[in-house]
Homo-oligomer: A and B are copies of this chain.
Amino acid sequence: MARGSSSRRSSSRDAMRKKRGASSGIKQPPWRGTMENRFPPMEPLSADQLEAIHEATLDLLEQHGIEAMGDEALDLYQGAGATVDRSTGMVKMDRDLVMELVGKAPSSFKLTPRNPDRTITLGGNGINFGLVSGPPNVHDCINGRRPGNWDDYLKLVKFAQFFNCITVLGNQAVAPVDLPANIRHMDTTKANVVYTDKMFNHQLIGAGRARDSVEIVARGRGLSVEDMIDDPSCIGNINVNSPRKLDEHMATGAIAMAELGQATIVTPFTLMGAMTPVTMAAGLVQQNAEALFGIALTQIVRPGVPVVYGGFTSNVDMKSGAPAFGTPENAKANLAGGQLARRYNLPYRTSGCNASNCVDAQATYETFMSLWGAVMGYGNIIYHSAGWLEGGLVASFEKVIVDVEIIQHMSAMLDPINTDPDEIDVAAITTVDPGGHFFGSDHTMARYETAFYPPILSDWTNSEQWLLEGAQDATQRATVLWQRVLEEYEQPPLEQDRLESIEAYMAKRVEEIGSGEP
């Protein structure tokens, strides 16, 4: 990570570029930040159905409750007026209390990474596509399937920095299991700050990890942790242990983030048929109750702190019990989750995912299903948009490329149509005789370079040419492309004093908590 070695890489990269010719760089749409979805959201629930789910949710929270683990969370719920059974950890909240607490959260907020040009907005019709988050394994078609490691972690981070359509990284694109588990969160956070200048998700397993990464981000911005309280730079996800259990590490992680004024996403992981009842209506009630329960906790700690309604409702294969993703039910739940989030004026997190074992047609149609649901459900932050494979057990390099292509397609499709007079132009039509063609017309020549979205992965050559060139399918072409991304990647400059401050903090913390080495 020394600057010298980075410079050497740069020179070598420049040489390779010259060799290939300047025009061979990967052409992608420019950075546009949070994408605006100008179409109305797709809403599978009628207003009455939405209210039925809402009321059943409040019944569940009021009459049955959810279990919270750990005195810190139980004390907070009790202090806010909830009924807490200390012997079981069950917390019941009456409907007014739930709505009062949830009502304190902002409907929209900004998150600013170390480069303020990379600020994103969470709320309304703004869509942010995030890199895959959390798989234990990594795969590419050169090196095969392997446990996550540090080198691959850095490659994935560079992919996310490279592609403009990715506005936020997940928490640990792959788990680098070659690093000690107790300090790994600091290494990954530092790498995110050093190798990207974009937003990323933090790991919220316990308050300590949450605080460490907030401290590192503050140093990356050249701010104090206090400076960031009303100018958040950090966001992390907690999962509810469905059904109806909030684990202590998750609760204390969220509490720490709220104390520091940073954002938490509360996501019940609700696979229908396994962690919820088999019906979508009951699955959504349970998701909703669990999400509101965690969201309420953040508002008890710090009213008005940014928080995101997370939904991750898919189903299992009822023949085998295997989890399934990108199913019609998953896509529909992604849409319905957006309705529920908007019901409470909360930003919404959802996901793109699939259960395929390789980067094939199944991986593609399942991802497209879930992403369609996510984008048309107004997923303000869409986890796992690029690179997720095998139901989240693998981060795939080729899948990153395929998914970026899908995201860029979707974004271009959602862009408005220009009907200004010189675009609609009847005269441009009539300059060409019936049965002729428009290839050489002035109207075409003035616009042809930017008229259409240029894909990075699609091959439109004819069959003969494609066979001559080796008959590579999209996955094989993706292998070529991710290698080129690593060549073309440019490290965003970081002030030396900020880097040193981060390293000093980490050294101090390693002294306090140990290096994890045996």
Q: Is the CB of A145 within 8 A of B439?
A: no
Distance in Å from the Cβ of A423 to the closest Cβ of chain B? 4
Query: Does A141 lie at the interface of the complex (its beta carbon under 8 Å from any beta carbon of B)?
Result: no
In the complex, the answer to whether B357 meets A471 with C-beta atoms within 8 Å is yes
Q: Are B447 and A60 neighbours in the complex by a CB distance under 8 Å? A: no
* A168: interface (CB < 8 Å): no
Q: Give bound CA distance, A462 to B324, whole Å.
A: 11
- A278→B438 contact, CB < 8 A: yes
List chain B residues, Cβ under 8 A from A245.
Answer: 434-435
Tell me whether A66 and B441 are in contact (CB under 8 A): no
A90 to B67, CA, bound (A): 77
Q: Is A434 in contact with B390, judged by CB distance below 8 angstroms? A: no
Interface size, chain A (Cβ < 8 Å)? 123
Residues in B with CB closer than 8 Å to A362 are: 457-459, 473-474
* A428 in complex: contacting residue of B277, B373, B455, CB < 8 Å: B277
Interface residues of A in 421-448 (CB under 8 A from B): 423-426, 428-430, 432-439, 441, 443-444, 447-448
A416 within 8 A of B: yes
Is A140 at the interface (CB under 8 A from chain B)? Answer: no
Residue of B nearest to A446 (CB): B278
Q: Are B437 and A279 in contact (CB under 8 A)?
A: no
A99 within 8 A of partner (CB): no
Q: How far is the CA of A406 from the CA of B106 in the complex (A)?
A: 38
Chain A 447-460: CB-based contact to B (< 8 A → 1; otherwise 0): 11101110101111
The reply to whether B56 and A473 contact each other, CB–CB distance below 8 Å, is no
Contacting residues, chain B, for A473 (C-beta < 8 A): 358, 360-362
Query: With A272-B451, A318-B451, A444-B273 in contact, do A67 and B355 touch (Cβ < 8 Å)?
Result: no
Closest to A322 in B: B460
A451 to B, closest residue via Cβ: B278
Chain B residues whose CB sits within 8 angstroms of the CB of A453 once the complex forms: 327-329
Q: Which residues of B contact A365 (CB under 8 A)?
A: 364, 368, 402, 405-406, 409
Contact B328 A409 (CB under 8 A): yes
A463 contacts B364, CB within 8 Å?
A: no
User: What CA separation (Å) do A415 and B449 show in the bound complex?
Assistant: 41
Whether B44 and A471, one on each chain, are in contact in the complex, defined by CB atoms closer than 8 angstroms, is no
CB within 8 A of A56: which of B321, B332, B424?
B424
**Is A286 in the interface zone, CB < 8 Å from B?**
yes
Q: Tell me if A336 and B274 are in contact (CB < 8 A).
A: no
Copies assembled: 2
Alpha-carbon distance A435/B439, docked complex (angstroms): 64
**Is residue A217 within 8 Å, beta carbon to beta carbon, of the partner chain?**
no
Q: Which of B64, B279, B432 contacts A430 (CB 8 A)?
A: B64
- Is there contact, CB below 8 Å, between B360 and A360? yes
Q: Within the assembled complex, what's the spacing in Å between the Cα atoms of A90 and B430?
A: 12
Compute how far the CA of A174 lies from the CA of B139 in the bound complex, rounded to whole angstroms.
39
Q: Within the complex, what minimum Cβ distance (angstroms) separates A221 from chain B? A: 35
In the assembled complex, 27 residue pairs joining A and B whose CB atoms fall closer than 8 Å, in A order, are A39-B42, A53-B419, A63-B426, A66-B434, A243-B435, A243-B438, A273-B438, A273-B444, A273-B448, A273-B451, A274-B439, A277-B425, A277-B428, A278-B447, A285-B429, A318-B452, A324-B452, A324-B460, A329-B452, A332-B413, A357-B459, A357-B467, A360-B360, A362-B457, A362-B474, A369-B410, A372-B413
Binding site for B on A (CB under 8 A): 39-40, 42-45, 49, 52-53, 56, 59-60, 63-64, 66-67, 90, 145, 241, 243-245, 272-282, 284-286, 315, 317-318, 320-324, 327-329, 331-332, 336, 355-366, 368-369, 372-373, 390-391, 393-394, 402, 405-406, 409-413, 415-420, 423-426, 428-430, 432-439, 441, 443-444, 447-449, 451-453, 455, 457-463, 466-467, 471, 473-475, 478
For the complex of A and B, list the 5 residue pairs with the smallest distance between their C-beta atoms, beginning with the closest: A328-B412, A360-B473, A364-B364, A245-B434, A361-B474
Please give 16 more A-B residue pairs, beta carbons under 8 A apart, in addition to A274-B437, A365-B405.
A40-B40, A273-B451, A275-B437, A277-B428, A277-B443, A278-B452, A279-B423, A281-B420, A324-B458, A329-B452, A329-B453, A357-B466, A358-B471, A373-B413, A390-B462, A393-B462
